[in-house]
Amino acid sequence: MSSVRCVGFWFSHGNYAASVPPNNPDKAMRRPLLLLLSAFFLIWAVEALWLSPSPPGDGLWVLRQEGMLLTGILALGTMTAIMVLALRPRRLEPWLGGMDKVYKLHKWLGIIAILLSLAHWLGKQSKGLISSAIGTSGKLAKVPVPEWVSLFKPYAKTLGEWTFYALILMLIITLARRTISYKKWYSLHRLMPVAYLILIFHAVVLTPIAYWSGIGGWLLAISMVIGTVAAGIQLLRNLSSAYPHTGTVISCCSQGDVLEVQCRMDQSWPGHQAGQFAFLRLKGESESHPFTLSDADQDDQIVRFHIKQLGDWTRRLPERLHVGQNIELDGPYGRFTQPEQDDGGIYIWVGAGVGATPFLSWLSQEHQEGHAPYAYLQYACQHSDDPLAQALIKAAEDHPDVDLKIYADGRRWTPKDVLQHYHADKPMHIWFCGPASMGRQLRRELKQTLPAKSWTLHKEHFQFR
């Protein structure tokens, strides 16, 4: 099984980078998350507290009823957002701060949805406890329902409960990354749209009929339609045999544990910005992996990747990939890109391991006057003869505006290597791509040492599962 790694991101089975809001890596995720939960809480509140409150009954029974409705609506809302984000929506990428935030939000929405489903299930299981505590005399009166609801209710309950158990199992498998290969996890994960559609059926049948006549119910129904469409598109994509862009391998060269691949894409390829990434798969296969495009776009439909052999799929790739082979790409994605103008600040690029690739891409981009500022590039690896270190050295030779330092062969990089460039009268802009622990160490040192408004950190923030 492959380890987590970065090329632009520290990424499981792939690599990619995206910028984050300065000094606050989670802000871009918390805002949409709170907005989403607030919106679906409002849907529940409008119905529960105004338009269609629960029938009269003892407080615990009312609390159980409304608690189940609230947790069910919130779980459904988060799952709907998961279905939409699974489509890799380009229009949301700028608002969320990059595809790394899209995937992080997708991951946390999944965890939150399962926790809300657990609360919903516990509410259902509390019936016996409440009966033992206060009896059943104050139980809510049954509301008449249409015949079709009575017909489908047993199936909706059973399917919903077993789908909940399946989601719990999926969460355990996802969190226990070392116990199952990525390929098996990926195959299971592709079934999530089916689970969502089952839960839509569960919700349509078991949501109180009175809900659908009010504005809260209308909004809930609209969200269900959006989620159903997104799940349907995702299922069709899973069955599709083609990605949007096709190409042909024109060169393939192994240098140590790094495979350098160049592909000529068809005319549909829109071009890319230096530092972006694309999902790559071999034509005729279903499994894809994201990799940073390690060259800037030259308007010649040629893309290049530097792929480090860190996982099962990438270790087998040199044996399976050859000149003339057809490949498919989905992309480009990502916002780990150079600043458009120099604001007179201090620019520091920090990479480690496979995190060299976005900076390789940046160095391949023609530096127009006023576009690329003078930068300090710091790269950490085990040995100075590392293929990616050598590629950076070669690329930096053509750029006197980039001061490259390689930290290898016992020379260790520390955050102090960044802090030494601090000047009180100039803002410091840092782009980081490397191991998560190294990034946390850098952020912690910056926070403890420098004034908060004197620096910004653009950092990868991604795990594929």
User: Tens digits of per-residue pLDDT, 19-59?
Assistant: 334 445 455 577 888 888 889 988 888 887 887 777 776 77
Q: What local confidence, expressed as pLDDT, does residue 398 receive?
A: 80
Confidence grade of residue 195 (pLDDT, cut at 50, 70, 90): very high
pLDDT at 64: 84
Residue 341: pLDDT band (50, 70, 90) is low
Residue ranges matching CATH 3.40.50.80 in the chain: 346-459
Distance of alpha carbon 217 from alpha carbon 41, whole angstroms: 12
d(CA 18, CA 452) in angstroms, rounded, equals 21
Enumerate the CATH 2.40.30.10 domain ranges in the chain, comma separated.
Answer: 245-333
| Mean pLDDT of all residues belonging to the chain | 81
User: Rounded distance, CA 350 to CA 375, Å?
Assistant: 10
pLDDT digits (tens, 9 = 90+) for 408-429: 888 899 989 989 988 888 888 9
Q: How many CA atoms lie within 13 A of 399 on its CB side?
A: 26
Q: How far apart are the first and last CA of the chain?
A: 13
- What ranges in 207-252 are assigned the alpha helix state H? 215-239
Which of 86, 31, 16 has its CA nearest to residue 463?
16
Global confidence as pTM = 0.74
Residue 138 has pLDDT above 50, yes or no: yes
- Axis-axis angle for helices 357-364, 387-396 (nearest 10): 20
Q: Where in the chain is the domain with CATH 1.20.120?
A: 20-239
Whole-angstrom CA distances from 181 to 13, 116, 219, 460, 465 are 11, 27, 40, 24, 11
CATH architecture of 346-459: 3-Layer(aba) Sandwich (3.40)
Please write the tens of the pLDDT for every residue from 210-224. Answer: 888 888 889 999 999
- If one counts every other C-beta atom within 10 angstroms of the C-beta of residue 235, the result is 17
Res 63: pLDDT: 86
Token pair of 206 as six digits: 């078991």
Rounded Cα gap, residues 58 and 69, in angstroms: 17
CATH topology of domain 20-239: Four Helix Bundle (Hemerythrin (Met), subunit A) (1.20.120)
Residue 7 has pLDDT above 70, yes or no: no
Give residue 406's pLDDT.
Answer: 92
> Chain-centre distance of CA 289, in angstroms?
13
Which class is domain 245-333?
Answer: mainly beta
Statement: residue 165 has pLDDT above 60 = yes
